Amino acid sequence: MNQISEISPLLLLSGFLSALILCVIILASQKWHLIYSSDNDIGPQKIHSNQIPRIGGIALLAGLLAACILKLPFAAGLLFGVLPVFLAGISEDISKKIPPFFRLGASIVSAVALVWVLSLQISAKGIPLLDTLFNIEIIALSITALAIALMAQSINIIDGLNGLSIGTSFIMTCSIAIIALMNGDFALAEFSLFFVACLAGILIINFPRGLLFLGDGGAYLLGCVIAVLAILLAQRNSTVSSFASLLIVSYPIYETLRSFIRRTIDKNTDFFIADDQHLHSIVYRFISNLNSTSTAKHNKLWATNAFAGMSCWLLPLLSSILAVLFQSSMPVLLICVVLIILFYETAIRILAKS
């Protein structure tokens, strides 16, 4: 852990400012671009009352560019790999006309590019049958690419409340940095902490008032970066189980898989249209109902939004703490994944009935 002292505070400040300055520029110039870049209050997950720019992903891209300029490990490969899905996402943020299938295809292209450029490969150390399957290179590489594409979609799905996706990503990336430092992986820790600083620069704009949204471009970029860092964590450190990485990202991944199954079963649901049946949507309704029945109605829409988003941080925080504590114990990590899922399901059922 003493290697953390070798990471220059100026490096972290560079990441923080690279994202923050772009956020300020976007906000300061919004009178010229808001007609194209704004989100609106139409749709089940639009919990705000004003037009708000949804091109905050540009600030994340600026962070990656800064990392490349500073020649940080993995930065150039990440920037190259995420461009296809980022461009598809930012095009949707501006035009609102990019088909879901096209964006899904772009996420797969980016995932394949990242696997190729950074030589990524998921393993299943400790599980004999899976380990044998993952030793077949084409299968392992295909699953790795699909996992990255899934994570890109996952961050986009949970991007429904002020600070939720960025705060969740902040927590997950911090845990990756901590485990990397504990295992002497200075290169991975250095980039992870730099990216944490970038996220902090955007978080103070996005939370609590939601002055700027990540948009599809930012969410896709964020998902790809975290997926890559999570894969590298287990791939580069032999004592870290792949299930530690899975546990870290379990909340957004499970939210997406659950939504996939739910929308597949429900024939009346359009698979590619957002709905309000996610955990964060239910948490928001629960908190809104509490406020509406309270005699003190001083809470504004943004405050309820932000409090609901912050409440949902509990899942990634719990997952990350457990991953740090049991990073090398595959059986315990598997039990923890199951417990997180049970916690999710219990919470969503209790809140939905309240």
Tens-place pLDDT, residues 236-260: 999 999 999 999 999 999 999 999 8
Return the pLDDT at 48: 57
What is the number of structural domains in the chain?
A: 1
CA–CA separation, 236 and 239 (whole Å): 9
Of 48-62, 67-81, 110-124, 238-252, which range is least confident? 48-62
CA–CA separation, 164 and 157 (whole Å): 11
At residue 235 the predicted structure's pLDDT band, cuts being 50, 70 and 90, is: very high
pLDDT over 50 (residue 296): no
pLDDT over 50 (residue 295): no
Residue span of the structural domain in which 27 resides: 2-353
pLDDT, one tens digit per residue, over 125-177 is 767 777 788 888 999 999 999 999 999 999 999 998 999 999 999 999 999 99
Q: What angle do CA 70, 225, 131 make, to 5 degrees?
A: 125
- DSSP tag of 5: G
Return the pLDDT at 134: 83
First to last CA, the chain: 45
Return the pLDDT at 124: 78
Q: What is the mean pLDDT of the chain?
A: 90
Does residue 53 sit in helix, strand or coil?
A: strand
